[in-house]
Amino acid sequence: MTGTPGASSTRDGEAPERPPPCSPSYDLTGKNKVVTVDGMRVKLQIWDTAGQERFRSVTHAYYRDAQALLLLYDITNKSSFDNIRAWLTEIHEYAQQDVVIMLLGNKADVSSERVIRSEDGETLAREYGVPFMETSAKTGMNVELAFLAIAKELKYRAGRQAGEASFQIRDYVESQKKRPSCCSFL
Ligand SMILES: Nc1nc2c(ncn2[C@@H]2O[C@H](COP(=O)(O)OP(=O)(O)OP(=O)(O)O)[C@@H](O)[C@H]2O)c(=O)[nH]1
């Protein structure tokens, strides 16, 4: 999931009939995950679209079924960041209208090779009204939070009742996310 953005779909429900289309990497893609939200187990079924090489070929089927999409770019690779707008355009065309989208700037651990500033990710995310954080699949920074935030949002939507306080995923992510610093971010 580095170098190009990957989109993953999540589902709360039964195991997939078809296997994930590419080999799993760390916690960000390729695995099913169970997240406990307020005492309820939410199962996330994760598919990795495998990146740019399959752009516009297999991805439409993912969009159609996905309840949530994680859009990843690599903070050390400008073209991966530049591709995000194209992915968002695709998503708006093919995904369900209420799909949960999250923008992730991955490889936050390799600050020496950073070419995309955190502010650039934040600005892009704000423009599209999606939550944003930087992650590291190497150290695990913010990885669990990304899944937890999505699980909370999906659980909230599934069980929403009149009068219940709304769950704001962007506010939640902003309040919980860790930011990389020069010395320590864990
Ligand atoms: N330092 C660091 N390396 C990472 C991180 N995430 C992935 N990598 C490395 O980047 C390389 C590519 O990772 P992949 O997960 O295969 O990248 P990908 O974009 O999903 O690849 P495709 O799905 O085939 O397009 C591997 O060597 C990973 O170990 C990260 O957060 N930090």
CATH number at residue 154: 3.40.50.300
Residue 115 lies in a domain: yes
Going by CA atoms, what residue is nearest to atom 6 of ligand 1? 137
**Ligand 1 pocket member 16 (CB < 6 A):** no
Residue 149 lies in a domain: yes
Residue 185 lies in a domain: no
Q: Please, how many CA atoms are within 13 Å of residue 43, restricted to the half-sphere of its CB?
A: 7
Residue 54: its pLDDT value, please?
53
Going by CA atoms, what residue is nearest to atom 26 of ligand 1? 2
**pLDDT reading at 140 higher than 90:** yes
**Ligand 1 pocket member 70 (CB < 6 A):** no
Instruction: Look at the chain and report how many structural domains it folds into.
Output: 1
ipTM of the complex: 0.92
Residue 61 lies in a domain: yes
Question: Which ligand 1 atom lies nearest to the CA of residue 3?
Answer: 19
Question: Which stretches within 50-186 are classed as H helix?
Answer: 59-65, 78-82, 84-94, 118-128, 143-159, 169-176
**Ligand 1 pocket member 4 (CB < 6 A):** yes
**pLDDT reading at 180 higher than 70:** yes
Residue 15 lies in a domain: yes
**Ligand 1 pocket member 83 (CB < 6 A):** no
Residue 183 lies in a domain: no
Structural domain of 43: 6-178
Residue 68 lies in a domain: yes
Residue 1 lies in a domain: no
Q: What is the pLDDT of residues 58-112, one digit of tens each?
A: 567 777 888 999 999 999 999 999 999 998 988 888 899 999 999 999 999 999 9
Tell me how far the alpha carbon of residue 120 lies from the centroid of ligand 1, in angstroms: 21
Q: Which of 73, 130, 65 is nearest to 95 (CA)?
A: 65
Query: What are the residues whose beta carbons fall under 8 Å from the beta carbon of 43, sequence distance 6 or more?
Result: 11, 12, 13, 32, 33, 34
| pTM of structure | 0.81
